[in-house]
Chains A and B, each alone.
Chain A
Amino acid sequence: MRLNTMRPSHAPQEATRQVASTSVSGSGVRGNARFTLRLKVFVAFALLATVGGSGGVLSLFRLHEVARIYQNEQSEVAVHEAVHEDRIALLSLLDLVNRHQYQPERDEPKLHDLIEKRMLQLGASTETCNGCHSHLPAHVEFTAQLNELRQGLASLLKPAFANPAGGAVSLAAVEASITALEDSRGRMEARFHQLLDRRRDNGKDILQPTVWQHLALVFGGLAAALLLAWLISRATSRHIMPLIVAARRIGSGDVSRPVEVPHDPDLAQVAVALNEMAALVAQQASEDARRQLLNRTLSSQEDERRRVARELHDTLGQSLSALLMEIKSRNAHGQATVSPVDGNGLEARVSCLLDEVHRMAWDLRPPLLDDLGLHSALGRYTEELAQRRAMPIDFQVVGLAQWDDRLPRDIETVLYRVAQEALHNVVRHAHASRASVVLVRRDQEVALLVEDDGSGFDVETIRRDSASLGILGMQERVALAGGGLTIVSAAGKGTTVRAQIPLSGLPT
């Protein structure tokens, strides 16, 4: 027993679409996605870099400023300390002068030492100022004042050295000078503090940028990033644009010329995929056209059959009926225009003719199929065929009430024709003793099974045989209705022909 599902052209559009989508995703779309991803990452990176870069530059600038302020403060503190020490020295000197009577013999060496030390210290302070204070604007002024202080101190001490005897006078002079010095030093210190404070305030400004600075930073960075991104995307889209145009062209159904393959490997993949798609579109279009034509042919064939059958019924059939009725009436009432014997013969012949017309009309298209539906039409057809061929044909229906359940008309026609063809094959080829026809309606599907207990055949062989137009015809009809045809057969095991048609989404 072999099973052979013959659905090569089942749901052709879907199938083709599936193939199309598969092959595109096989190479092109994945490449395309990777490309897009790369572009995105690139742009994001550029964005980040721009923001980071501008932020970094600003930070560097600020760091430098901070370092400068820090250095300045360090040196200013050093100067301050030096000045402070000077002040202490001066004060101690003053204290010495005030509290003790100045006695050159006794005090001079001590004073000398002290002043020497101070001088040294002041020198060191100046050095400090010179060393680390070079970029302070106040440096020059400050150094000058310091020098002045030192010179003042030196000149203050000189009289003491020069006139050891005139201690008292010198002492008063020392005192006055010291007071003057103290004043000048106090002014200087005030000035220094002023400088220092201003410096601190500036530092604060730089260390804490204002809201405007923040906004400027953010918007500047953003603008730069956007510009960069725009530049990048424009550079890339110049290469992508032809592909987009080509894709639109293919989408609109124009597959007259292939897409040019660019050098970029990613874009080349896209182009190749587009070309594959174009090929499939072209193929699908011709397949669609073929199916449409077939569909039209089949449905116009059904219409034509219906029309001819009706015509037979209506003209020939009706005329014969009228004629027959007339003859019968005349025969019955003894009004025969010919002899009674001839009249009876005439009646029989007209009756036969009428039967023949009726049968022809039925064979073309049973009115039962339109009036009462597939269930009745198949029942009637199997009965009639069984009678004519003297072969039992059993017919059963599952899931369809005889009267009320009508399937979509197109599907009824398809299944009726399939049953006709399949039973035709059974009585012609199968050497069967019995046949069975089953119509099953499952949830969203209807299936027709025609089975026989005949000789069976090898499905592959028959299918390859180009002469098996009957099977091809069934297959095409079922495929057009969106279904599939299955044939199971093997030598000596009978044959099952099954047509399955989905009902979902079809108008009833």
Chain B
Amino acid sequence: MSIRIVIADDHLVFRSGLRALLQREDDIEVVGDAGSPDEVVSQLERTRADVLVLDLSMPGGLSGPQLAESVLKRYPRMRIVVLTMHEDPYYLREMFRVGVHGYVVKKSGADDVVRAVRAASRGEFHVDASLGGMAVSSLVAPGARLREGRAAQLTPRERDVCRLLALGYTNAEAGEKLFISERTVESHRTNIMTKLELKNRAELVRFALDNDLVR
């Protein structure tokens, strides 16, 4: 039994090219195509497709992620393969969070699309080979907590200063809030940075978040 797919892309040339390429495969049957979010909905309604090949940047109405989300809400068993220009871990992460099964970059070629469609129809996940590294780094990066538990190294005053700086106050403003001079804040800041080996405010924010100094 062949895999019934709907191709959703607003660009007619691309859509028909892709359709022609996918039709060559024996196990894939393109049962419909759509050029707008509205058409996607009506096509899915009509065709009872297995897999939706979805472009993320179709004009009109819902954004790509929103469209995918609403399709999956309506057809929970639908498998979606994202086919997009966005070589971007943020889109990648967001789309898998929404619940798609495949993410293919348009640059990659029809073979990747075919592989992704087959994987999705089996309920497996497929990430474009060129994005694999990004996917992993984006999974790993936010996980490691920074210097957790080292807040104990700070004096109470330093912790106050750390908290205010993490909330985006300038040295002078933090001084005003704590009734100390700007210079004192500056020296606290230097101490905090040195003690915790922090390089800049972003790292200080990260530290404050990991140690629950700010929420």
A residues with CB within 8 A of B: 1, 3, 310, 313-315, 317-319, 321-322, 324-326, 328-329, 332, 351, 354-355, 358, 367-368, 370-372, 376-377, 379-380, 392, 394-396, 398-399, 403, 434-438, 440, 442, 447, 449, 451, 453, 486, 488, 496, 498, 500
Contacts and interface: CB of A to CB of B under 8 A. Distances in A.
Interface stretch (B121-129, B150-158, B163-171): B163-171
A440 B167 contact: yes
A394 B199 contact: yes
Contacts of A355: 107
Contact of A328 (B91, B110, B202): B110
Given A322-B14, A396-B209, A398-B209, A376 B90 contact: yes
B42 to A, nearest CB: 21
Interface string B179-215: 0001000100000000000011111011011000011
Interface in B51-67: 56-57, 59, 63-65
Residue in B97, B168, B201, B209 whose Cβ sees the most chain A Cβ within 10 Å: B168
Looking at chain B's contact residues, is the secondary structure mostly helix, strand, loop, or mixed? helix
B172 interface: yes
B94 interface: yes
Contacts, number: 149
A398 B94 contact: no
Contacts of B159: none
A443 to B, nearest CB: 10
Contacts of A379: 90
A246 to B, nearest CB: 45
A440 B111 CA distance: 44
A488 B90 contact: no
A453 B14 contact: no
Interface of B: 9-11, 13-14, 17-18, 21, 56-57, 59, 63-65, 85-91, 94, 97, 106-107, 109-111, 166-168, 170-172, 182, 186, 199-203, 205-206, 208-209, 214-215
> Which are the 5 A-B pairs with shortest beta-carbon distances?
A394-B202, A318-B11, A436-B202, A328-B109, A436-B200
A313 B208 CA distance: 40
Given A318-B14, A380-B88, A329 B111 contact: yes
Contacts of B59: 310, 314
A453 B200 contact: yes
A417 B125 CA distance: 36
Given A435-B200, A437-B202, A488-B170, A371 B64 contact: yes
B17 A354 contact: no
Given A328-B109, A332-B109, A370-B63, A403 B205 contact: no
A413 B186 CA distance: 32
B110 A317 contact: no
B168 A329 contact: no
B203 A436 contact: yes
B104 to A, nearest CB: 11
A213 B40 CA distance: 93
Contact of A3 (B110, B170, B214): B170
A362 B170 CA distance: 32
B202 A396 contact: yes
B200 A394 contact: yes
B167 A442 contact: yes
B107 A351 contact: yes
22 contacts: A1-B182, A1-B186, A314-B59, A319-B11, A321-B106, A322-B14, A322-B17, A325-B18, A368-B86, A368-B91, A371-B56, A376-B94, A394-B200, A394-B202, A396-B202, A398-B214, A398-B215, A403-B97, A436-B199, A437-B202, A447-B168, A451-B201
Contacts of B86: 367-368
A81 B88 CA distance: 130
B170 A438 contact: no
Contacts of B11: 314-315, 318-319, 322
Contacts of A367: 56-57, 86
Contacts of B21: 325-326, 329
Contacts of B166: 398, 438, 440
Contact of A321 (B85, B167, B182, B199): B85
A371 B206 contact: no
Given A318-B11, A321-B14, A322-B11, A372 B91 contact: yes
Nearest to A317: B85
Contacts of B91: 368, 371-372
B153 to A, nearest CB: 20
A328 B166 CA distance: 50
B14 A324 contact: no
A354 B107 contact: yes
Contacts of B168: 398, 438, 440, 442, 447, 449, 498, 500
A326 B200 contact: no
Contact of A451 (B18, B110, B200): B200
Contacts of A403: 94, 97
Contacts of B209: 396, 398
Residue in B18, B65, B88 whose Cβ sees the most chain A Cβ within 10 Å: B88
Residue in B11, B170, B202 whose Cβ sees the most chain A Cβ within 10 Å: B202
Nearest to A2: B172
Contacts of B85: 313, 317, 321, 354, 358
A249 B49 CA distance: 69
Contacts of A376: 90, 94
Given A310-B59, A398-B214, A436-B201, A325 B106 contact: yes
A435 B208 CA distance: 18
B106 A449 contact: no
Contacts of A449: 168, 201
A434 B186 contact: no
A448 to B, nearest CB: 8
Nearest to A439: B168
Residue in A313, A324, A371 whose Cβ sees the most chain B Cβ within 10 Å: A371
A488 B189 CA distance: 15
B131 to A, nearest CB: 13
Given A319-B13, A329-B109, A372-B65, 18 more contacts: A3-B170, A310-B57, A313-B57, A314-B11, A318-B9, A321-B14, A322-B13, A326-B17, A368-B88, A370-B63, A371-B63, A398-B215, A436-B201, A438-B201, A442-B167, A486-B170, A488-B171, A498-B170
